[in-house]
Amino acid sequence: MEIRNNREQQRDDLRNRLIAAAEHQLADGGLAGLKAREVTAEAGCALGGLYNAFDDLDRLILHVNLRTLARLGQALRDAVPMGAAADRKMLALAQAYVTFALGNRKLWAALFDHRLPEGVETPDWYLAAHSVLIAEIAPPLAALRPDLSTEDLMLRSKTLFAAVHGVVQLSLQGRFIGAPLERIESEVAALVTAMTRGL
């Protein structure tokens, strides 16, 4: 039988409550607003309970980010118009990324602002979860750039993502040299068009 005994159920329950509470606090107050005491209060357990369920606050944040990445991945997959031309797909992906960032600002920021302490290496399952960021880019890019080898295609997909991300990030930061919000989409579109144009 696969009866998960009460222990495991409660353990998973608590973990999920903690993740949900942390997600809530993170979406509200950003990384700086995430407090162990507030999270455990909202999750309905004692302060120490957090450290039975997770190694530390950083690991809990990683799990929140995991959820955010899953939602972002879904949004990107949903955004690709079936049967459309490759350049249309690319533009749709970029726009979906902008839309997600704008609609989930604090959680999206946590994805890129959070840092593990020096010397602590990122778990593999967390690294792997980031593949959603470029998974949808490679296929249409391959159609637009048949001159690229598989390896170069992967690299260029990462570069294209990073470039779009940079524009969105500096713009949403809103303090330095980013584009004003109402022009992000058009600037990103120009960037994507330039990068996907063949030789």
Residues in the site for its own copies, rule: CB under 8 A?
A: 29-30, 32-33, 113, 115, 117-118, 122, 127, 130-131, 133-134, 155-156, 158-159, 161-167, 169-171, 175-179, 183, 187, 190-191, 194-195, 197
Strands (E), the chain: none
| Non-local CB neighbours of 87 within 8 Å, separated by 6+ positions | 140, 144, 193, 196
Nearer to DNA, 49 or 132 (CB): 49
118 is a site residue for DNA (CB under 7 A)? no
Contact set for DNA, span 29-58 (CB under 7 A): 34-37, 45-53, 56-58
Nearer to its own copies, 35 or 115 (CB): 115
Nearer to DNA, 34 or 80 (CB): 34
47 touches which of its own copies, DNA, none (CB within 5 to 8 A by kind)? Answer: DNA
Tell me the C-alpha distance between 106 and 104, whole Å. 6
| Burial group, residue 137, by CB count within 10 angstroms (0-12, 13-18, 19+) | buried
Rg (CA), the chain: 19
Contact 185, 98 (CB under 8 A): yes
146 is a site residue for DNA (CB under 7 A)? no
Nearer to its own copies, 48 or 117 (CB): 117
Instruction: Kindly state the smallest distance separating residue 98's Cβ from its own copies, in Å.
Output: 13
Contact 93, 79 (CB under 8 A): yes
